[in-house]
Structure 1
């Protein structure tokens, strides 16, 4: 082998290692950026059940953003993703991706992960939620909610999973009262309320979601593409009065 041939082979080898090295560096940087984006900005999730129909259906892919809650908590009417407060999910809904690639992508926020729920915020700290007024509407601080534009049509009232009358809840500090838009199929805050039949063993905190468990606000349905759209907070929640201050 001549000197020129040895020089050419060395140059080729060095060039190959340079490409590999640069590719690895780019991959590490890309993964690092993805982790940062997932941790602080946006994250992908999927809809695990029919509790948010008709707007969101099973296996819809949604995008959740986090900066909105950096300087304040969720507002009434927001659709939020939150970690399971404890036994709210069944095994099927709690399952995340099963494949190795899916689990890896879920870790960096590029694939929907399990173990979370999607509900609409009905009440924030201090709010009193009552079901229902004479027209079958849920009230918050005495203000009836106009929900016909986004909940699944109901026969008798807007809260049938927990019944149409006789229940109310006042939201503790640092907690949220959440409900699904498909009231007949949503084991939400109203479902987990303690009743007289539950006895003293029922934990009254089980009906509420800690704000610390909230991942972020759902801002868009991104898949399937034919139904993709940006989510907006319903205007009806703007009319809700602030909770009455205690003396």
Structure 2
């Protein structure tokens, strides 16, 4: 048998590493590699027409806004008149969440937003989980009122301060120094119509509203656990700007009312007892 002739008639095998052109000629491994999840997702996102692309763009914008409001700046809708005239009902303040993240702490005069759980609110009311998610999403962009445990007030005393009211002139005193609050106190309000004398524990804050006659603040919680003071770690951020309405857009500068207040002395740290 002429074996050489038989082998000569067999077609030569193609040893080329490149697959033959055409859909039917491609190797199976090439098809598998081309059908990666990332490519499939890209094809789905770009192949659904304008409506699908618009929905995806909106979803990406919402995720971006939620990330910014969770870690950088969050709009906060003012629900009451307790901070008038500095802040009015319906104002959207922009809360700087990085203000106290890198070693800085709240200072006297700062306007802060904080979670009042266990200080201003001892038993938070229950909330439907679905409603809570909707409210949280809406409040994170300033479209809905914040949680019932969130408050905005002005820091009057920090850890170690002795805050008293009032002296013979009717002024608030911090560490024995009278504080002139004309720059932000609501016209016609007294610094406080309720006398008190409190030494602020370390790591806590004494806070009050600018509209003292219409503010439930540290004074109203003296007899409760915590004595009306707010833990520093419950502070959400510092209100630095008014972002809405358009005619009220401005920054909230620091007040100079507390510039002359001395550091807490030995007597201030140990000599006062809360009462009111």
> TM-score under structure 1 normalisation?
0.76
The correspondence for 2:76, drawn from 35, 41, 45, is 45
Note if contact 2:242-2:251 (Cα within 8 Å) is conserved in structure 1.
Answer: yes
Q: 1:87 to 1:75 in 2, by over 3 A?
A: closer
Correspondence for 2:39: none
Larger radius of gyration between Structure 1 and Structure 2: 2
| Count of matched residue pairs | 216
Asked if structure 1 preserves the Cα contact closer than 8 Å seen for 2:75 and 2:139, the reply is: no
Any idea what the Cα deviations from partners look like across 1:61-86, whole Å, max 9, x if unmatched?
A: 21111111112221110011112234
List per-residue Cα deviations over 1:215-246 (Å, max 9, x = no partner).
Answer: 11111122222222211110122221111146
Contact preservation (8 Å) 1:85, 1:206: no
State the secondary structure of the residue aligned to 1:67. coil
> What does 1:73-152 align with in structure 2 at a 5 Å threshold?
73-86=105-118, 88=120, 103=135, 105-106=137-138, 108-109=140-141, 111-112=143-144, 113-115=146-148, 116-152=150-186
Is the Cα contact below 8 Å between 2:91 and 2:244 reproduced in 1? yes
1:85 counterpart SS class: coil
Verify: 1:66 aligned to 2:97, yes or no: yes
Contact kept, 8 Å, 2:186 with 2:212, in 1: the verdict is yes
2:86 aligned to 55, 60, 63, which one?
55
- 1:159 matches 2:192: yes
Q: Distance in 2 between matches of 1:104 and 1:82?
A: 15
Residue 241 of structure 2 corresponds to 220
Q: Distance in 2 between matches of 1:154 and 1:192?
A: 24
On the 8 A contact 1:80/1:217 being kept in 2, the answer is yes
User: Judging changes above 3 Å, is the alpha-carbon distance between structure 1 residues 102 and 220 closer, same or farther for their aligned structure 2 residues?
Assistant: farther
Gaps of 5+ in 2: 1-43, 122-126, 271-276
Q: Residues 141 and 101 (structure 1 numbering): CA distance in 2 closer, same or farther, change over 3 Å?
A: closer
Q: CA deviation at 1:123?
A: 0.6
C-alpha separation in 1, matches of 2:140 and 2:111: 23
Task: Render the CA deviation track for 1:166-217: whole Å, top value 9, x for unaligned.
Answer: x2111112211000001111111022213xxxxxxx43x1401111221111
In the TM superposition, residue 21 of structure 1 has moved relative to its aligned partner by 5.7
Q: Does the 8 Å contact 2:92/2:242 carry over to 1?
A: yes
Alignment TM-score, normalising by the size of structure 2: 0.68
Distance in 1 of aligned mates of 2:97 and 2:45:
44
When residues 68 and 17 of structure 1 are mapped into structure 2, their CA distance, relative to the original with a 3 A threshold, is: same
Structure 2: distance between partners of 1:207 and 1:62:
24
Q: Is the 8 A contact 1:127 1:243 kept in 2?
A: yes
1:36 matched residue in structure 2: 67
Structure 1 unaligned segments of length 5 or more: list them. Answer: 1-12, 90-94, 195-201
